[in-house]
Amino acid sequence: MANIAKKVSWSGRGDDRGERTPLLNGDEEVKYNRQVPDTLDYDNSENQLFLEEERRMSHMGFRCLEIRRWVICGLIGFLTGLIACMIDIAVEKLAGYKYFAVKLNIEKYTELGGLSISLILWAVLNSAFVMFGAIAVAFVEPIAAGSGIPQIKCFLNGVKIPRVVRLKTLVIKVFGVICSVAGGLAVGKEGPMIHSGAVVAAGVSQGRSTSLKKDFKIFEYFRRDTEKRDFVSAGAAAGVSAAFGAPVGGVLFSLEEGASFWNQMLTWRIFFASMVSTFTLNFFLSIYHGKPGELSSPGLINFGRFDSDSVQYNLYEIPLFIIMGALGEGNVTLSLYIHRPCLQVMEAMLVAAVTATVSFAMIYFSNDCQPLGQDNTEEYPLQLFCADGEYNSMATAFFNTPERSVRSLFHNPPGTYNPVTLGVFTLAYFFLAVWTYGLTVSAGVFIPSLLIGAAWGRLFGILLSFIASNTFELILNYQFKRNRIWADPGKYALIGAAAQLGGIVRMTLSLTVILVEATGNVTYGFPIMLVLMTAKIVGDYFIEGLYDIHIKLQSVPFLHSDAPPTSHWLTAREVMSSPVTCFNRVEKVGRIVDVLSNTSTIHNGFPVVAHTSENDEPGKICGLILRSQLIVLLKHKVFVERASSRLSQRKLQLKDFRDAYPRFPPIQSIHVSQDERECMMDLTEFMNPTPYTVPQETSLPRVFKLFRALGLRHLVVVDNENRVVGLVTRKDLARYHVGKDGLEELHLAQT
């Protein structure tokens, strides 16, 4: 029903972003800022140092590496599960205290008649929680806002968002999630788990933390983009797994969103991390709940057990499910730009107070009394104005963590909620969710979507059952005799939840598996699939999914899995950037420093050519060197003239590059004296001698396929003499996309 997008800059502060001017083909003298998203290199730079290291390694060495990868994945899973467990317990405790206090207060004032005091108490408590969370996010680490899923999607795609996988981000994220969920906002704690898992993975796999300035000197081999990406996939999967108790869903999420190249061993490791993560959460939560060894809480959200009997569905219900799928779509784009952190905190507090007020008003004006059952599972049943032995079901829906509300909507017996209650609830919660989504707080969109969907799904089920029992039954008596099935609104709540969530996030395969695993029952697999596919098809017709909107708003060079279909017209010659700044195999230090310091053309990769003649004739390609490598070389002053004295010093090793990874110092911080500028640098040993190249005539889809399948960052375009004529980077490819009328060219941030 809703795609909610609010333009919030990922870098948090508007002034972080540089100037942007439209790109012109082949001429890109664009000034830009140092903070612009960088890209990641998923292609190993196989230079001599690397090859020497690999060749020195024995068969046993590779086996040890493999074992180390498994250990890291185990650790990632364990820590992610632990964090999920911590968040869950903290939220439960805090929300428990809050609801307990408010409930006591309400009970006290229901009879006395001063319920406005309860309202104020509730609003203040909510605002206070949210304030802490918003302050942390807005002032300390703005990148921790939202669920972080679009950022992780970008990371896995190869776009580096600054600060996204730092320890500090994780701490703020966890704290922010606890505050915003405990503060009663219309948000969930599941989405952020994916981001948290990814940060854990990035941290553990590198064996150090730059936030803590601590290097454990382990796992140094994995300090490069390729390996890090693999572990971050595992971390994201572990996050999904812990959030929903869905290890297979986690693996599929990582694959659907991230990986381009399917690798069996990697998939198994990701699977292992997911498995460990849900198991850890389950283990510790079951201890916390006082039932050690029972293993009944595999995820943060627990949909509750759908009993096999109640989840039967019939063939004639399938069209209804599909209609529900189509309903689960639509969009509301709310664009508010608030850049000042103070205002952001104020806004978050305001929303928290409004949420409390709206809920309170609805509780107050509804009189939806239901008998208080023997086996009541509600934790805070509010009696309010109901008779003794009854409770207010509307209050139950609002006066609870959203996870519990979802569960009630799925499982409460028919008749628990009346249709008007549900209708009003859906609308109110929907608008709250839309408003909440753009806040500068750490929070996910999964749970509010599920809750809205479950509410209108249940409403749909109730209406259907009403229509069926009143009208059609007379005509089609033989068909509808199993009224038992029609009468189960919980089933429709589940389908509605799936439709709503699918319409917003537009995942199909992974979301199907996640929902099936969360319900603990595969019977509903088929209808959930149908619903998600319908939601996606109908949704894509109108607008892109929430995450894609988010990614597009940031103008990052995100590559989809295929080139646009009509792009065969274009060739490498047209998409490439040219002329290219090349270096000679043995290059003057002064020139390197000048090129790297030139702020008008910031390039990250430079083809190395055999000989650049003085005229404009391009040289023959013989390698590719990265800005980061050059910076390390300059820092260690690896100059030809110093080679004799270097003999006494140690030779530059791969380790030096790894130690600098991933935050290479800026060129400005490296001091090069005037004498040194006249020295020469021999790049032979450090450049990648076999970069992938394509001829100029290669069509865009072919370039795209090569680029995407291998996770490249730079692709050198050569003429038939192997001379460098251009360089294709991620943004050159990302700017073409299919619009309504065919191929369109986007304007993207420079990378």
Site for its own copies in 589-618 (CB under 8 A): 610
CB of 272 to its own copies, least distance (A): 7
Q: Is 694 in the site for its own copies (CB under 8 A)?
A: yes
Length of the chain: 751
Site for its own copies, residues 154 to 213, rule: CB under 8 A: none
- The label of the residue with tokens 């003429």 reads 719
Q: Does residue number 513 form part of the binding site for its own copies (CB under 8 A)?
A: yes
Site for its own copies in 704-723 (CB under 8 A): 705-706, 709-710, 718, 720-722
Q: Is 533 in the site for its own copies (CB under 8 A)?
A: yes
Give CA–CA dist 181/186, Å, rounded. Answer: 8
Give the Å distances, CA to CA, from 357 to 117, 123, 590.
Answer: 12, 7, 66
Pick from 62, 97, 466, 542: which binds its own copies (CB under 8 A)? 62
Backbone CA torsion sign across 80, 81, 85, 91? positive
Longest dimension (CA), the chain: 100
DSSP state of 125: H
Least spacing, CB of residue 367 vs its own copies, in Å:
36
Cβ distance to its own copies smaller for residue 335 or 561: 561
Residue 697 is a binding residue for its own copies (CB under 8 A): yes
Interacting residues with its own copies between 273 and 302 (CB under 8 A): 275, 278-279, 283, 292-295, 298
CA 423 and chain centroid, separation = 31
Rule CB under 8 A: choose which of 25, 314, 653, 673 binds its own copies. Answer: 314
* Type and span of the H or E element at 729: strand 724-729
Gyration radius from the chain CA atoms: 29
Give the whole-angstrom CA distance, residue 551 versus residue 563: 18
CA nearest 640: which of 667, 674, 672, 678? 678
SS3 328: coil
Cβ neighbourhood burial of 642 (10 Å; 0-12, 13-18, 19+)? middle
Residue of 14, 21, 34, 51 interacting with its own copies (CB under 8 A): 51
Q: Rounded distance, CA 277 to CA 220, Å?
A: 24
* Least distance (Å) between residue 250 CB and its own copies: 11
Contacting its own copies (CB under 8 A), which of 389, 415, 690, 747?
690
Contacts of 141 (CB under 8 A, 6+ apart): 12, 163, 166, 168, 169, 172, 173
Kindly state the smallest distance separating residue 536's Cβ from its own copies, in Å: 8
Asked if residue 272 binds its own copies (CB under 8 A), the reply is: yes
Question: Nearest 5°: phi and psi at 68?
Answer: -60, -40
Q: Would you count residue 248 as binding its own copies (CB under 8 A)?
A: yes
- Among 24, 112, 217, 264, interactor with its own copies by CB under 8 A: 264
Asked if 268 is part of the footprint of its own copies (rule: CB under 8 A), the reply reads: yes
Q: Which of 57, 361, 427, 643 binds its own copies (CB under 8 A)?
A: 57
| Contact flags string 560-589 toward its own copies, x per CB under 8 A | xxx--xx-xx--------------------
CA 270 to chain centre: 16
Is residue 509 near its own copies by the rule CB under 8 A? yes
Q: Which is nearer to its own copies, 235 or 247 (CB)?
A: 247
Query: Least distance (Å) from its own copies to the CB of residue 194?
Result: 18
* 688 closest CA partner among 599, 628, 598, 615: 628
Interaction between residue 226 and its own copies (CB under 8 A): no
13 belongs to the binding site for its own copies (CB under 8 A): no
Min separation Cβ 107 and its own copies, Å? 36
Identify which of residues 678 and 697 has a Cβ nearer to its own copies in the complex: 697
Closer to its own copies by Cβ: residue 300 or 602: 300
Per the DSSP assignment, residues forming a β-bridge with 209 are 214
Told to check if 313 binds its own copies by CB under 8 A, we report: yes
Cis before residue 579, ω within 30 degrees of 0? yes
Say whether residue 271 binds its own copies (CB under 8 A). yes
Token output for 585: 């195999």
Q: Who's near 728: CB < 8 A, 6+ residues apart?
A: 572, 575, 576, 577, 694, 703, 707, 714, 715, 716, 717
Question: How near is the Cβ of 188 to its own copies at its closest, in Å?
Answer: 21
Of 450, 498, 530, 608, the one binding its own copies (CB under 8 A) is: 530
Considering only residues 259, 363, 531, 630, which one is a binding residue for its own copies as defined by CB under 8 A? 259
Min CB(617)–its own copies separation in Å: 15
Contact between 542 and its own copies by CB under 8 A: the answer reads no
